Structure 1
């Protein structure tokens, strides 16, 4: 039996769009054109998204709880999607349960279980098997596992590598090809390709890796298209039914800018934008005076957020970096849109215990100019630079001219001298628990995350509180 169009499958894929709607309109044109051209030639075509299609930093996604993204996915005619951490972790559980209620596509994810039922939520499939021409394909989906955080939303997340290995062993006898829809990151994808026999293609996401022609690892092709909708991925698989083997497996990335925006998608996004402007135009606070923020030195708006974190998690000390606040607030009405623009990060409050000595290490390190100006990417951060540390509940006296490592003169916690061996409860942000910039935060004990609230929820509460606004004008850093 010769090779023909009945044994060739074309897969079009995207990943990590993060609500870049301006690119989605071009992607829609590209996917529609490619699909039509290939289908006219008689080829089956499947379109998939690998997660983090949504990002609540964008106005339309925030105001519609992701429904604008689902509408775009529907119009673009995706067949399968898996979920990323931005879908799984940034939506309150009731909103996540409703997220895909209008979806015209299947959502596949095998390692996310309901904590009560120990089964996937009703709208998730662990895998699916489909037939194309003369061969059958098994599709398995997995997402990045953050067990402690997902637990707070009522989920259990299983190790994705173990789950994929189990799923492959289970369905391999019944399919000719296995494709993994992965939102676990390039390194994990490479490990799966090396250690799990029977995977033909891994379509990846999460780490924003660009693989122009994919990467062959053993008998597996690993693919990923970068980030923010800059490229469309295209994988071609030809299967020889007589020899029971894949005889052609190729991947390429097509720049999205090659395509004109799709008018239907533009109208969907614009319709949701107009609605979002109304929803997010709600006035949530009114300022009687300006609240400036500085990334280089202590400022009232930074102090306000640090105090809010301390209060929110009931800690002795609050610590946050000023770079989480993107601009100063002027006197007058503050809307939900203002707060979203000011603090767009999907970053959650957390509480931990640190010794006085560990706090001193962090505060000392925070004075380094390269730390203040350090550019951060990932970990939920949507700002430009880290900025200085804003503190509440403690007063820091320092000598900026002293040698590095000895600039902190003394610290007082609520009026009492800091003790090096004593444990202090600290309200801060989950980003620091990853050990970026300040590794000492990873040594914190009893870390507790607060979900689904974001930093902007803390900030909104503070902006509504007269006493908190007044206290934000108090200083906590003193140069001697």
Structure 2
């Protein structure tokens, strides 16, 4: 009996970033679509393309991302790849255990142990087979943050080259190849040009949206923007000889999906669960730590001292906009610090020539910066705020000092700052300068470490065991 033509459905999400407000609707939609496709005897696969986890949300932080995995399980995902939020905002130990309870595959071909061996939780590819025998090969890769992954004890390879190798390796074993790409739109377009074996690229990372997909040669690119605003749907039509005859993409606007009364309760329960887990005293502050966006404040002074002492740098620089609130006198909990500093941002020590440090200081005085809105770079606030300095100051004579040393061209100085300032957007020289990222500690870990260090109620051995300086 001759095979009939067949339709394969791909549903995909990307860059949810723990924005759970719409998650109940997304989950319900995916489960409903799978049921409809099953009833029509049409194959269905559900994928997430990374950055589902974002430690800025208390549920994700409180469950170390395992709560996100449970949500993906419940929605019926078949496979995911990781984004940089899973890959470099979590310790190696946390990432190694993140997917222990997953009912889906983790597909990723460009991340290994430093000796080149594969972690147990990932597969470089998976080949699924539909009920009628169509072989669907799925490959995946994530963006190459070399220095960050190396600091955490991982080896990250150039993704396009690795994807092309895997696609070539499996092309004779499959009838189609789907790529889960957390690389960004430009990389996806290059990949489509360079690798003819890939039929569909489901994209992420740059938060791009393709309402009807984009064709590059014979490869269909699809992507759903960010924060769960859309769910993607790709239809692939296969003829009697298992050849693709048509493929198309669309996005479904989640705001237009059915809402139910219990959705709000479900989202609130996630927040409550996270906050409850984080409700643990970490240190006591004898005086209030108030926030100010456009001037120095008690909380910025506290953090400035913390950053210098933790890193051992000559001086420190950061923006007041990182503080999303104040702390009252009394016990400080993990929940309070997480709400104060939700950003997945690491401290970084940069080594600079005196001339470079003078230039950084000059640029930091840009009068428009304090009211500049910042998006991305790990920042989860709104405005830049005043640039704050610790042990970096000008004398009345106009000379710049880093600690007790005058800043002079030809001499070397160390500056503690936030990793987001080392990507070149605000300070070009910091992108190429010698630097050390302090990982896996986030800036809130440094804040807690310093608070515990100053609090004589905390036993030093306990403090060092919990927030060890690497």
Consecutive unaligned residues in structure 2, runs of 5 or more = 457-470
Q: Structure 1 CA distance, aligned partners of 2:174 and 2:455?
A: 65
2:153 counterpart of 1:165: no
Match of 2:448 in 1: 460
Match of 1:368 in 2: 366
Q: What is the CA-CA distance between 1:56 and the residue it aligns to?
A: 0.7
Q: What is the CA-CA distance between 1:396 and the residue it aligns to?
A: 2.5
**Partner of residue 335 from structure 1, selected from 323, 328, 333:** 333
Structure 1-normalised TM-score? 0.90
Q: What is the CA-CA distance between 1:261 and the residue it aligns to?
A: 5.1
Match of 1:348 in 2: 346
Task: Go from structure 1 to structure 2 and tell me whether the alpha carbon gap of 1:467 and 1:36 turns closer, same or farther (over 3 Å shift).
Answer: closer
Q: Tell me if the contact between 1:397 and 1:409 (Cα under 8 Å) persists in the aligned partners.
A: yes
Match of 1:197 in 2: 196
Match of 1:219 in 2: 218
1:36-435 alignment, distance < 5 Å: 36-116=35-115, 118-132=116-130, 133-242=132-241, 245-260=243-258, 273-397=271-395, 409-435=398-424
Q: Tell me if the contact between 1:144 and 1:160 (Cα under 8 Å) persists in the aligned partners.
A: yes
Q: Tell me if the contact between 2:283 and 2:455 (Cα under 8 Å) persists in the aligned partners.
A: no
Q: Structure 2 CA distance, aligned partners of 1:241 and 1:397?
A: 80
Between 1:192-201 and 1:435-444, the stretch displaced more is 435-444
Q: What is the CA-CA distance between 1:299 and the residue it aligns to?
A: 2.1
Q: Tell me if the contact between 1:435 and 1:442 (Cα under 8 Å) persists in the aligned partners.
A: yes
Q: Structure 2 CA distance, aligned partners of 1:2 and 1:298?
A: 76
Q: What is the CA-CA distance between 1:465 and the residue it aligns to?
A: 4.1
Spell out, residue by residue over 1:363-416, the C-alpha distance to the aligned partner (whole angstroms, 9 max, x if none): 222222212222111111111122222112222348xxxxxxxxx922122234
Q: What is the CA-CA distance between 1:3 and the residue it aligns to?
A: 8.1
Task: Go from structure 1 to structure 2 and tell me whether the alpha carbon gap of 1:416 and 1:277 turns closer, same or farther (over 3 Å shift).
Answer: closer
Q: What is the CA-CA distance between 1:325 and the residue it aligns to?
A: 1.3
Query: SS at 1:254's partner residue?
Result: strand
Q: Structure 2 CA distance, aligned partners of 1:241 and 1:453?
A: 55
Spell out, residue by residue over 1:225-252, the C-alpha distance to the aligned partner (whole angstroms, 9 max, x if none): 000000010000012243x632110000
Q: What is the CA-CA distance between 1:134 and the residue it aligns to?
A: 4.6
Instruction: Count residues in correspondence.
Output: 455
Q: Structure 2 CA distance, aligned partners of 1:266 and 1:153?
A: 37
Q: Tell me if the contact between 1:366 and 1:372 (Cα under 8 Å) persists in the aligned partners.
A: no
Q: Structure 2 CA distance, aligned partners of 1:416 and 1:144?
A: 40
Q: Structure 2 CA distance, aligned partners of 1:165 and 1:262?
A: 44
Q: What is the CA-CA distance between 1:307 and the residue it aligns to?
A: 2.2
Q: What is the CA-CA distance between 1:12 and the residue it aligns to?
A: 0.5
Q: Tell me if the contact between 1:28 and 1:261 (Cα under 8 Å) persists in the aligned partners.
A: no
Q: Tell me if the contact between 1:128 and 1:139 (Cα under 8 Å) persists in the aligned partners.
A: yes
Consecutive unaligned residues in structure 1, runs of 5 or more = 399-407, 469-480
Query: SS at 2:385's partner residue?
Result: coil
Task: Go from structure 1 to structure 2 and tell me whether the alpha carbon gap of 1:263 and 1:83 turns closer, same or farther (over 3 Å shift).
Answer: farther
Spell out, residue by residue over 1:19-77, the C-alpha distance to the aligned partner (whole angstroms, 9 max, x if none): 11221111011112222222212211111111111111111111111111111111100
Spell out, residue by residue over 1:82-105, the C-alpha distance to the aligned partner (whole angstroms, 9 max, x if none): 111111111111121111111111
Spell out, residue by residue over 1:111-155, the C-alpha distance to the aligned partner (whole angstroms, 9 max, x if none): 110113x12211101001112225211100111111221112221
Q: Structure 2 CA distance, aligned partners of 1:26 and 1:264?
A: 10
Query: SS at 1:182's partner residue?
Result: strand
Q: Structure 2 CA distance, aligned partners of 1:148 and 1:83?
A: 17
Query: SS at 1:123's partner residue?
Result: coil
Q: Structure 2 CA distance, aligned partners of 1:165 and 1:324?
A: 40
Task: Go from structure 1 to structure 2 and tell me whether the alpha carbon gap of 1:261 and 1:108 turns closer, same or farther (over 3 Å shift).
Answer: farther
Q: Structure 2 CA distance, aligned partners of 1:336 and 1:69?
A: 20
**Partner of residue 431 from structure 2, selected from 410, 419, 442:** 442
Match of 2:24 in 1: 25
Spell out, residue by residue over 1:275-319, the C-alpha distance to the aligned partner (whole angstroms, 9 max, x if none): 433321112222222222222222221222222222212111111
Q: Tell me if the contact between 2:284 and 2:455 (Cα under 8 Å) persists in the aligned partners.
A: no
Q: Structure 2 CA distance, aligned partners of 1:18 and 1:263?
A: 24
